[in-house]
Amino acid sequence: MKFSKIKVNGLNVFYRESGSQDKPVFLLLHGFPTSSQMFRNLMPLLANDFHVIAPDFIGFGQSAAPRHTEFNYTFENLTNYVDDFLKVMQINQFYLYVFDYGAPIGFELATRHPNSILGIVSQNGNIYQAGLGAKWAERAIYWQHPTAALRKSYQSAFAPETIKGQYLGGEQPDSISPDGYTLDIHYTESPDYAERQSDLIFDYQNNVKNYPKFQQYVRDYQPEILAAWGKNDPSFVYQGAEAFKQDAPNTEVHLLDGGHFVLESHWQEIGKLILAKWA
């Protein structure tokens, strides 16, 4: 395993890398509130068969985190940096693993470069209205009528107990290591964290608006999709996994007995599913 940084448009992008460069690339895109560290267990399982690359988005993990007054924290802009990261790394084709925030970023990449995609793993990475849990109705009200008070109220998403709950919710007792959520909580203590993440919460509305575009990509190009989903996730509910089949009937759906961060408890199972499909 290698841990490196590379300049992308003047900003450092941190990434984890494993496997031989002569193997097909597997690009792993993390979500909120985490970073590429979420793939620490999965990457060794894939390293014999793939060249595995997991970057931290700008504003997350070990990548550069400019203040929100100096950087446009939108999903389009985060996608631009991942897109340019791939260009700097000279990566032209790749398998794609998307989770949470990584889904709108990854599917936007796919719509821009459809011939670059070799296959897609979606782990609670939603692109369907059917996959939006109950909390998103409240956020839709915020998007339509934004106020400073509502923006402030959504900072509860960054509270330590909220993050811990995201990891433990829907999982069996004593099945989740504290390492992941402890590190994520540490990153919330970085300067300007709440402001840049609040910008992204507000901008998430544009991901929902892009769902039809992402679905059209799936219909048009019929990528091989493996949906490995924590079926107990209240944020991106399991109907989002099943919805892929309406646009790509050959989608392989596995509903796993876990929550939002099901990779924490089922990395071995997810790794085996990936290897069985593409190795």
Integer angstrom CA distances of residue 268 from 52, 183, 203, 263? 16, 21, 34, 8
**Could you tell me if 267 and 179 are in contact, meaning their C-beta atoms sit under 8 angstroms apart?**
no
Establish how many alpha carbons lie within 13 A of residue 269's alpha carbon, considering only the half-sphere containing its beta carbon. Answer: 15
**What sign does the CA torsion over 42, 274, 107, 231 have?**
negative
Residue 240: what are its φ and ψ, rounded to 5°?
-65, -35
Q: Name the catalytic one among 30, 51, 68, 260.
A: 260
**Could you tell me if 56 and 30 are in contact, meaning their C-beta atoms sit under 8 angstroms apart?**
yes
Task: Establish whether 145 is a catalytic residue.
Answer: no
The DSSP secondary structure of 30-66, one letter per residue, reads --SS--GGGGTTHHHHHTTTSEEEEEPPTTSTTS---
* Structure tokens that stand for 33 in this block: 């509130």
Which are the catalytic amino acids? 260
